[in-house]
A = this chain, B = another copy of it.
């Protein structure tokens, strides 16, 4: 069987099933970051993301933004776990006749963002490849008491996002601000039960939370914050690479957060029992059973 017939998520599940880990691993493969025992008060976070030319950026994308994005998607994974990024290593696959200037710009894109978030770039590897490849592996830390996984959504939780969705292809996927500060603000001041970053698309990533938490959900068309860059609702639901936080918290906590009027945070729905499935209430009142859709490599 070819992998495009199996599909990306089935392939990942297949690989995950073959992996065993020991007691040093608090959360293994499957969340935004692996969570490892570290010290009395903190866990260590560990994650990797591979960007490929022609998939995550094009031949003509400003190489500065390519480098920036390579680190930013990793920072977004740390944000999804409410952590603080600390160290990263970068592997570069570079086509033979690449200009040194281009590598300089990629490097600058990485190091500028690293500086902004006090991340140490501590190593790397360079290889020859047919297309430009950047793989960033990142370490971070998070206080044990602040760790949030995908699996903690509770019945009655309100579902929120940290910003507008859809149309990131017009540029946001390159220059988005990883929601590190927002995630820290949330866990330091509120009870958050589950969190993820929207990389694959709202419905697909919310579905990751629902599956991990064994819950159902209802979201409302009228509440989805559709970006002006989006072509419409469909785009906001499934175009992906928004890199906003998607999280759930008890109703009273959500009220506290929204009443305080912090810009950006918006409620879009509610967590229910698993049996309700995953529903979208249209503005017309029509109820739609959502089949999660979003970006898949295969």
Contact = CB atoms under 8 A, between A and B. Distances in A.
B120 A50 contact: no
Contacts of A214: none
A29 B126 contact: no
Centre residue among A34, A86, A115 by max chain B CB count within 10 A: A34
Interface stretch (A97-105, A143-151, A177-185, A232-240): A97-105
A3 B55 contact: no
Interface string A118-153: 101111111111110101010100000000000000
Interface stretch (A13-21, A204-212, A248-256): A13-21
B100 A52 contact: no
B49 A91 contact: yes
Contacts of A118: 22
Interface stretch (A4-12, A165-173, A279-287): A4-12
A259 B12 CA distance: 51
A118 B206 CA distance: 34
B87 A29 contact: no
A159 to B, nearest CB: 25
21 contacts: A1-B99, A1-B101, A19-B111, A22-B118, A22-B120, A24-B86, A28-B123, A29-B122, A29-B124, A34-B123, A36-B87, A36-B139, A46-B123, A46-B139, A48-B91, A50-B125, A50-B127, A50-B133, A50-B135, A126-B297, A129-B133
